[in-house]
């Protein structure tokens, strides 16, 4: 900006303050306490390593919400890199769907074109293929079929998709689109038995013949009586293949043919014996086992369970066997007798299972050999509020706690330690707006060096949030909080987020409470494409980007006369840009309307691919400090730098009349 070349003794010198780039935002400190490069607010924005703040890409609708009275219509887009593709529509006739109750990502490692999002509605599951844009119905079991009427948890494990229904028999699907979901095995557990066989060994492969042996691939068996065979008593083997009347194992013994009366024994449980899956509310995959809360006792009759009142207990399946659970060695309890309960589980490195209670965190180590497993308390000073907020990023595990987004990290030898200051300390003002009654619904993912956590955020004027309506984003490259993402309309809620897709389709996918699927940052045109009402039409809404600078004060407490401002701005390659500019003054407090990018650019929007330095007068308002507010109206502009200048006024200690 222009300056005088010389100043006299009585002249007021013009001072300048500003930022040459931006790395994050902080709303805990006062705006005049912030360091250069830190914004006071960032909504729907991103900050790259080059220091530019820019409006985020738009949310793209992949699957429209399910409908209760009409056909399920699925418009989908097959985009090329950086472009919006042509829209196609698929229709599924169904008038019985009334809601969405769960979702997860699924992929077949043997099929490159099997990137799916599986939705659990009340009457059926729907598998949506992200590669082809097609949907397939997957029926629930039973006559009449299972009806889901409350929230469920879904995961992929052992190349299957499981639907966990708290207190009811879990469902499983083998990933074959031609097959339906089935109930997992329940009822009285048939304890391991001796199996009498006739064996033939050929080139290291033993085939054992036994009618209705009941074994499965992956089961472990032991030689109880070798009879006249070349096997040895006490040897243990893992089943490699099964048929109706035969099973195979690998051995290191001489060949033999049709040796009768060889007896194998399945693994026998210690103490209370084995049980089937205890109708958990959720489970995780850990060390080739399913681990889950053990809140119910499996009754003798099929699909019958009784609550046991133990909300601080977990149980693990046998290795590669989701139907078998040892009630002694695979069972662990934490903080028994206290007002604590299990919220979530996380599989960590070095055979460590982390158990997140509501008010404490525990470890289970050496779970590969269950009778040698040990538990210990990591901390009883903090716990987890929301199971789906737990994410591991490098040497940290982040989760939502009473203190905000908290973390634990490992040091040498994978020893875990709690982080003293919450990661969300810088945005504590936002954290305090999370609705306490619904905070357990928070869900998080990690992608592209960012931690995304969706939370139910109350309005600044006290409006109560019942569902996740905002996404808080932490940028690990900048080591700062980057944005609060919202959609410029009410009614868009986030029930789940996960990483799905492959290649250019890989990204953060959102499932809303109406059954729609959206991709975060899937549109380059600066608009969100969403549907907020079942049976309603798509809405294209301008992304409401907001950037508020720190408060510029020249690092002193004097009152100033603010003269002018300057901004360096750039448009996206294919989009024009415009935004409103306001000034927020403090002491004296007031708001001034400065203008728009368009008004300082010859009364035209900033052209696509162009950059400009705009300058303007502030009108000499007197105040201690000033902030500049930018509110996006067109495109996805980039803010590169900003500065203000002014002169100090009323420096005398006497009161100004």
Interval 401-413 mean pLDDT: 80
Lowest mean pLDDT among 25-34, 62-71, 125-134, 345-354: 62-71
Can you list the positions of beta strands (E) in 531-624?
A: 539-542, 546-548, 559-570, 578-586, 590-596, 611-617, 622-623
* pLDDT of the residue at 9: 55
Residue with tokens 């629930």: 140
Most confident among 186-190, 336-340, 362-366, 525-529 (mean pLDDT): 525-529
CATH number of the domain enclosing 201: 2.40.30.20
Give the HSE-up count for residue 38: Cα atoms under 13 Å, Cβ half-sphere: 19
346, 381, 416 - which closes a domain: 381
* pLDDT of the residue at 114: 80
- 388 and 500 share one domain: yes
412, pLDDT greater than 60: no
The CA R_g of the chain, rounded to the nearest whole Å, is 31
Q: Which domain holds residue 366?
A: 273-381
* pLDDT of the residue at 110: 75
Q: What are the CA-CA distances from residue 124 to residues 23, 94, 335, 490, 513 (Å)? A: 45, 10, 39, 28, 16
Burial of 276 by CB count in 10 Å (0-12 exposed, 13-18 middle, 19+ buried)? buried
Give the Cα separation of 55 and 506 in Å (integer). Answer: 21
Interval 317-334 mean pLDDT: 86
- 470 and 391 share one domain: yes
Cα–Cα nearest to 120, from 95, 144, 138: 138
pLDDT band (50, 70, 90) for residue 646: very high
- 250 and 291 share one domain: no
* pLDDT of the residue at 36: 96
pLDDT higher at 247 or 650:
247
Q: What is the pLDDT of residues 535-562, one digit of tens each?
A: 667 889 999 999 999 999 999 999 999 9
* pLDDT of the residue at 266: 81
Q: What are the CA-CA distances from residue 248 to residues 1, 5, 213, 231, 255 (Å)? A: 83, 93, 12, 14, 14
- Which tokens belong to 308? 């046991």
Interval 457-482 mean pLDDT: 94
CB proximity list for 536: less than 8 A, separation 6 or greater: none
CB proximity list for 439: less than 8 A, separation 6 or greater: 385, 386, 400, 455, 456
* pLDDT of the residue at 67: 52
Cβ-contact 594, 583 below 8 angstroms = yes
The Cα angle at residue 581 between residues 579 and 582, in degrees rounded to 5: 150
* pLDDT of the residue at 211: 87
* pLDDT of the residue at 329: 80
73, pLDDT greater than 50: no
- 349 and 407 share one domain: no
CATH number of the domain enclosing 32: 2.60.120.260
392, pLDDT greater than 60: yes
395, pLDDT greater than 60: yes
Lowest mean pLDDT among 7-16, 133-142, 325-334, 445-454: 7-16
- 555 and 621 share one domain: yes
Give the Cα separation of 556 and 579 in Å (integer). Answer: 30
pLDDT band (50, 70, 90) for residue 92: very low
Q: What is the DSSP letter of 490?
A: T
Give the Cα separation of 161 and 182 in Å (integer). Answer: 11
| Structural domains counted in the chain | 5
242, pLDDT greater than 80: yes
144, 166, 184 - which closes a domain: 184
Cα–Cα nearest to 53, from 568, 603, 592: 568
Cβ-contact 644, 626 below 8 angstroms = yes
**Helix, strand, or coil here: 342?**
strand
- 350 and 365 share one domain: yes
Lowest mean pLDDT among 48-57, 84-93, 522-531: 84-93
- Which tokens belong to 560? 């100033």
609, pLDDT greater than 90: yes
Give the Cα separation of 13 and 6 in Å (integer). Answer: 9
End-to-end CA distance of the chain: 32
652, pLDDT greater than 60: no
- 401 and 509 share one domain: yes
Lowest mean pLDDT among 62-76, 237-251, 276-290: 62-76
355, pLDDT greater than 50: yes
229, pLDDT greater than 90: yes
- 443 and 375 share one domain: no
Q: Evaluate whether residue 539 is within a structural domain.
A: no
531, pLDDT greater than 60: yes
Q: Evaluate whether residue 636 is within a structural domain.
A: yes
pLDDT higher at 514 or 627:
627
Q: What are the CA-CA distances from residue 603 to residues 342, 546, 567, 607, 636 (Å)? A: 60, 22, 16, 12, 18
Helix/strand/coil (H, E, C) string of 497-520? EEEECCHHHCEEEEECCCCCEEEE
Give the Cα separation of 372 and 368 in Å (integer). Answer: 8
257, pLDDT greater than 90: yes
Give the Cα separation of 542 and 56 in Å (integer). Answer: 11
Give the Cα separation of 191 and 273 in Å (integer). Answer: 7
Interval 37-56 mean pLDDT: 95
- 241 and 286 share one domain: no
* pLDDT of the residue at 319: 84
Give the Cα separation of 296 and 169 in Å (integer). Answer: 11
pLDDT band (50, 70, 90) for residue 87: very low
* pLDDT of the residue at 462: 83
Count helices and strands in the chain by DSSP H and E runs: 1, 57
pLDDT higher at 140 or 396:
140
- Per cent of the chain over pLDDT 90 is 65
Give the Cα separation of 537 and 132 in Å (integer). Answer: 23
- 309 and 428 share one domain: no
Residue with tokens 């019958």: 304
464, 491, 513 - which closes a domain: 513
* pLDDT of the residue at 532: 76
Most confident among 64-68, 111-115, 395-399 (mean pLDDT): 395-399
The Cα angle at residue 605 between residues 600 and 606, in degrees rounded to 5: 80
* pLDDT of the residue at 260: 95
Q: Evaluate whether residue 524 is within a structural domain.
A: no
The average confidence (pLDDT) of the chain is 87
Burial of 379 by CB count in 10 Å (0-12 exposed, 13-18 middle, 19+ buried)? middle
- 144 and 42 share one domain: no
Q: What is the pLDDT of residues 558-583, one digit of tens each?
A: 999 999 999 999 999 999 999 999 99
- Rounded to two decimals, the pTM is 0.83
413, pLDDT greater than 90: no
Give the Cα separation of 277 and 293 in Å (integer). Answer: 10
pLDDT band (50, 70, 90) for residue 11: low
Cβ-contact 492, 532 below 8 angstroms = yes
- 555 and 605 share one domain: yes
* pLDDT of the residue at 407: 86
Q: Buried b / exposed e across 168-179, counting CB within 10 Å, b at 16+?
A: bbbbbbebeeee
- Per cent of the chain over pLDDT 70 is 89
Q: Peptide bond before 303: cis, by omega within 30 degrees of 0?
A: no
């Amino acid at each position: 900006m222009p300056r005088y070349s010389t100043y006299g003794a009585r002249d007021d010198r013009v001072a300048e303050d500003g930022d040459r780039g931006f790395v994050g935002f902080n709303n805990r400190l006062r705006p005049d306490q912030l360091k250069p490069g830190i914004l006071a607010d960032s909504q729907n924005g991103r900050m790259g390593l080059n220091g530019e703040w820019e409006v985020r890409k738009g949310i793209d609708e992949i699957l429209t919400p399910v409908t209760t009275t009409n056909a399920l219509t699925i418009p989908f887009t097959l985009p090329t890199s950086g472009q919006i593709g042509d829209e196609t529509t698929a229709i599924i006739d169904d008038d019985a769907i009334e809601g969405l109750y769960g979702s997860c990502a699924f992929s077949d490692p043997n099929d490159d074109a099997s990137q799916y999002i599986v939705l659990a509605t009340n009457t059926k599951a729907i598998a949506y293929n992200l590669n082809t844009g097609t949907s397939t119905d997957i029926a629930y079991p039973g006559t009449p079929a299972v009806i889901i009427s409350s929230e469920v948890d879904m995961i992929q494990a052992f190349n299957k998709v499981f639907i966990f229904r708290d207190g009811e028999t879990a469902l499983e699907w083998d990933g074959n689109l031609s097959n339906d979901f089935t109930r997992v095995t329940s009822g009285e557990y048939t304890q391991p038995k001796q199996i009498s066989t006739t064996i033939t060994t050929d080139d290291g492969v033993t085939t054992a013949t036994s009618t209705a042996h009941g074994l499965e691939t992956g089961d472990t068996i032991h030689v109880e009586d070798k009879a006249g065979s070349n096997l040895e008593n006490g040897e243990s083997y893992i089943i490699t293949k099964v048929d109706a009347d035969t099973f195979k194992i690998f051995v290191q013994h001489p060949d033999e043919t049709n040796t009768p009366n060889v007896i194998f024994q399945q693994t026998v449980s210690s103490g209370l014996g084995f049980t089937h899956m205890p109708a958990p509310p959720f489970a995780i995959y850990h060390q080739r086992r399913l681990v889950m809360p053990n809140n119910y006792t499996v009754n003798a009759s099929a699909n019958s369970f009784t609550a046991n009142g133990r909300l601080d207990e977990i149980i693990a399946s046998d290795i590669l066997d989701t139907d078998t659970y040892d009630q002694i060695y695979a069972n662990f309890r934490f903080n028994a007798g206290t007002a604590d309960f299990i919220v979530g589980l996380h599989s960590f490195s070095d055979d460590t299972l982390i158990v997140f209670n509501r008010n404490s965190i525990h470890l289970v180590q050496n779970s590969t050999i269950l009778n040698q497993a040990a538990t210990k308390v990591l901390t009883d000073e903090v716990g987890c509020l929301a199971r789906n907020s737990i994410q591991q990023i490098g040497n940290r595990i982040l989760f939502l706690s009473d203190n905000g987004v908290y973390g634990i990290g490992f040091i040498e030898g994978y020893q875990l330690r709690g982080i003293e200051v919450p990661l969300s300390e810088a945005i504590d003002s936002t954290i305090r707006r999370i609705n306490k009654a619904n905070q357990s619904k928070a869900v998080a993912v990690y992608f592209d060096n960012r931690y995304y956590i969706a939370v139910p955020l109350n309005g600044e004027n006290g409006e109560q949030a019942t569902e996740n309506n905002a996404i808080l984003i932490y940028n690990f490259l900048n080591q700062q909080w980057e944005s609060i993402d919202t959609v410029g309309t009410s009614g868009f809620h986030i029930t789940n987020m996960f990483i799905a897709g492959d290649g250019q389709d890989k990204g953060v996918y959102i499932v809303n409470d109406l059954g729609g699927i959206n991709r975060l940052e899937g549109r380059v045109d600066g608009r969100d494409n969403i549907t907020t009402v079942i049976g309603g039409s798509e809405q294209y809404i301008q992304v409401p980007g907001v950037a508020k600078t720190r408060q510029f004060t020249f690092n002193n407490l004097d009152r100033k006369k603010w003269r002018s401002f300057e901004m360096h701005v750039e448009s996206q390659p294919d989009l024009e840009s415009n935004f409103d500019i306001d000034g927020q003054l403090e002491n004296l407090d007031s708001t001034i309307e400065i203008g728009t990018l368009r008004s300082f650019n010859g009364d035209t929007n900033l052209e696509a691919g162009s950059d400009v330095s705009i300058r303007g007068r502030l009108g000499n308002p007197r105040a201690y400090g000033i902030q500049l507010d930018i509110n996006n109206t067109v495109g996805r502009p980039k803010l590169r730098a900003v500065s203000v200048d002014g002169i100090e006024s009323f420096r005398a200690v006497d009161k100004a009349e």
